Amino acid sequence: MKWAKRYVLYFRYLAYSPLLLLSGCSDTHFWLFDPKGLIADTELHYMIIDVTLMAIVIVPTTFLLIWVVWRYREKRRSAFAPEWSHSNVIEVVVWGIPLLIVGMLSYYSWRGIQAVNPYNPHALNSHGASTARSHKPLTVDVITTDWQWLFVYPNKHIAVANELVVPTGTKLHLKLTSTSVVNSFYIPQIVGQIYAMPGMRTKQSFEVDHPGSYHGFSAAFSGPGFSWMDFKLKAVPPVKFTAWIKKAGISKNTLNYASFSRFAEPTVNIERKIHYFSDVKTGLFAKVIKAVRSQRLHYVTPMAMTENMHAKIFRTHSN
């Protein structure tokens, strides 16, 4: 029965069977491996370079480790060198190989930052030059509140909350700030992250080539409403975009600093509501930064606000 016992032991590996569920995830859900924008594409490109270069060391090392542990088990009575603890050749190799790999990765790291630098990405610049596009870049101001997104189109005098609509094939210049705490602007399939920080201005630029709807969210924890702080990025052809601008422009809600500060009150966007604003005052973005810096834009977060999400206090702070 010894053999039976032995095979029973193998059943312990059944413990790992839940990992088989991994096969259930189809590749369309792997946002990072399914980029739809130039920047996300470049970022994936550098990930592949990095993993490949690392694999050159990692894979042989792993096999070496397995082989050594297997080969020199006490039972096998393989060659035994009880005193051996030094070899100049090996020392040089084990310092040299990581040094070489890190050197190569450093080069690619530098190249990568230049390519996707949010303030002036090389990837977009070279792409734009080669296709000689006619569209002028579009500017969007991004303001995060507790816990919603406001996208202001300063030249079009419209704004939309919790949805970002952009024309395809057009370079986008984003300026970002926050009214309260730090958020991180992230659309996995299109562009990497950049912080939106209160009283400060960061920038991001990207371009969407394929029409579609992409998932965006804040990636930096910003308080109890964080889990619901999503937005959709809708990329539409330029013609449709112009029509959309017109449609948004007839919204009855207007946006000046006063109405903005009402909008910016702590709100958990549970229903993921989208609001349109017309007649947006110019300079709202700058005014928000100024107000935060002088602490004029200042809200009191109620204590234990999300302790009971069915309670009245929570309802008044959610939509």
Partner 1 sequence: MPVHLQGPWNELFGRLGLLLIPHYNNPVIFFAFMLVTVGGTAVLTTLTILGRWGWLWRDWLTTVDHKKIGIMYVLIGLVMLFRGFFDALMIRSQQALAVGPNSPGVLGALHGYLPPFHLDQVWTAHGMIMILLAVTPILIGMMNLIVPLQIGARDMAYPYLNALGLWLTAVSAALVMIALFVGDFSHAGWVGLAPLTELAYSPGVGVDYWIWSIQIGSIGTTLGSINIIATIIKMRAPGMKWFRLPIFTWTSMATSIIGLTSFPVLGVALSLLTFDRYLGTHFFTAGLGGDLMMYTNLFWIWGHPEVYFVVLPAFGFLSEIIPTFSRKPLFGYTTMVLASFSIAGVSWLVWLHHFFTMGASPKVLAFYSITTMLVGIPTGVKVFNWVFTMYRGRIRMEVPMLWAVTSVFLLIIGGMTGMMLSIPAINYIVHNSVFVVAHFHNMFMVITYAAFGAIVFWWPKVFGFKLDERLGRMFFWLFSTGTALVFLPMYTLGLMGMTRRLDYISHPSWWPLLLIELCGIGFYLVSVFVFLGMIYVSYRDRASNAVTADDAWGTSRSLEWLTHTPVPFYNFAVTPIVHALDEVVWRREQGTLDRQPERYTDIHMPNNTGMPIIISGFTLICGFSMVWRIYWLALVSFIAIIALVLIRSFTKNPGYVITAEAIGELERTSRPHRQTEEIENPVSMGTGGGSMPNHGAPAARHPDY
Tell me which residues in 89-148 interact with partner 1 (CB under 8 A).
90-91, 94-95, 97-99, 101-102, 105-106, 108-110, 112-119
- Distance between CA atoms of 21 and 23, rounded to whole angstroms? 5
Q: Are strands 191-196 and 183-187 parallel, antiparallel or unpaired?
A: antiparallel
Residue in the block written with tokens 């059943």: 11
Q: Which of 255, 37, 230, 206 is nearest to 144 (CA)?
A: 230
Cβ proximity to partner 1: between 270 and 286 the closer is: 270
Identify the bridge partners of residue 274 per DSSP, sorted by sequence position. Answer: none
Site for partner 1 contains 286 (CB under 8 A): no
> In the complex, what is the shortest distance from the CB of residue 11 to partner 1, in angstroms, rounded to a whole number?
12
For residue 183, the surrounding DSSP H or E stretch is: strand 183-187
Binding segment (CB under 8 A) for partner 1, from list 136-144, 156-164, 214-222, 241-249: 214-222
Site for partner 1 contains 1 (CB under 8 A): no
Site for partner 1 contains 227 (CB under 8 A): yes
Site for partner 1 contains 206 (CB under 8 A): no
Sequence-distant (≥ 6) Cβ neighbours of residue 207 within 8 angstroms: 37, 38, 39, 124, 127, 128, 169, 170, 171, 172
Token digits of residue 242:
């112009």
Site for partner 1 contains 56 (CB under 8 A): no
> In the complex, what is the shortest distance from the CB of residue 242 to partner 1, in angstroms, rounded to a whole number?
31
Judge contact between 191 and 233, C-beta under 8 A.
no
Binding segment (CB under 8 A) for partner 1, from list 132-140, 148-156, 217-225, 250-258: 217-225
Backbone torsions φ then ψ of 105, nearest 5 degrees:
-65, -35
Binding segment (CB under 8 A) for partner 1, from list 137-145, 152-160, 233-241, 302-310: 302-310
Cβ proximity to partner 1: between 256 and 308 the closer is: 308
